[in-house]
Amino acid sequence: MNLFLDAFAWIGDPVHLTGPDGIPTRIGEHLAYTLVAVVIASVIAIPIGWLIGHTGRGRSFAVAVTGGARALPTVGLVFLLALLLGIGITAPMITFVILAVPSVLAGAYSGFEAVDRATVDAARAVGMTEWQIVTRVEAPLGLPLLIGGIRSATLQVVATATIASVVGSGGLGIYLFRGLRSNDYTQMLAGSILVILLAVLLEIVFSIAQRLVVPAGVTAGRPTDTRVTTRRSSAAKATSLQEGTQ
């Protein structure tokens, strides 16, 4: 318990809140790595996922490729790329993108697959082109699942971005690995707490966003309880009771 109190005291220490090694700076670096990786992964995965979801072709291949990507050892891949590309952010960033692509891709094509085919057929029947069907029907209806995929990718990258500091980059991982080298367990725990809090905050943000992007027509079409309950007076209830006993 004292270790946790020391860790929170370390986080609240004014010395650790300013300067290039301060907590706000490290959080900013961590968020920047996450944002850039997820954006790049989205640019790659969303068009491919939409194509797969719209045409129904290539799903088995995509599942196999993304499954293989999920199985890659992240730390080993970072060190391998660092040996090939040198120390810096390039090797971790490529690893983060590879880590984020499967979740975004799955969210993209799953969102299209979840759209009722009768809705798509109706759109074709009224004369919509395939591009209009994708952008005006399938993409809006599949957006919640896509946001869910981006949400999953973001949380994975946030948790994994700590390894960027191993090859000379910044982020909250600095506190973990510096504390590990110096046996400063308070600093290690403080870094872990900051990563957890950041992940929880992003989880809340994405959960709210995922609810907000549900099309109004979808929520409007959900069944509601329209039953009206009538209240009878005590006298009416008593009258009915007396009639039933006669």
pLDDT tens sequence across 180-218: 888 888 999 999 999 999 999 999 999 999 888 887 666
**Mean pLDDT, the chain, integer:** 84
Cα–Cα distance, 92 to 168 (Å, whole number): 10
pLDDT at position 11 over 60 = yes
| Pick among 1.20.120.450, 3.40.50.300, 1.10.3720.10, 3.40.50.1000: CATH of 2-245 | 1.10.3720.10
- Count CA within 13 A, CB hemisphere, residue 225: 3
pLDDT, tens digit (0-9, with 9 covering 90-100), for 65-116: 877 777 778 888 888 888 888 888 888 899 999 999 999 999 999 999 888 8
Burial of residue 97 (CB within 10 Å: 0-12, 13-18, 19+) is: buried
- Do the beta carbons of residue 150 and residue 111 sit within 8 Å? no
- Name residue 188's amino acid: M
Tokens of 114: 């979840």
Q: How many CB atoms lie within 10 A of CB 74?
A: 16
pLDDT of the residue at 219: 53
Question: Where exactly are the structural domains of the chain?
Answer: 2-245
Q: Confidence class of residue 31 from pLDDT cuts 50, 70 and 90?
A: very high
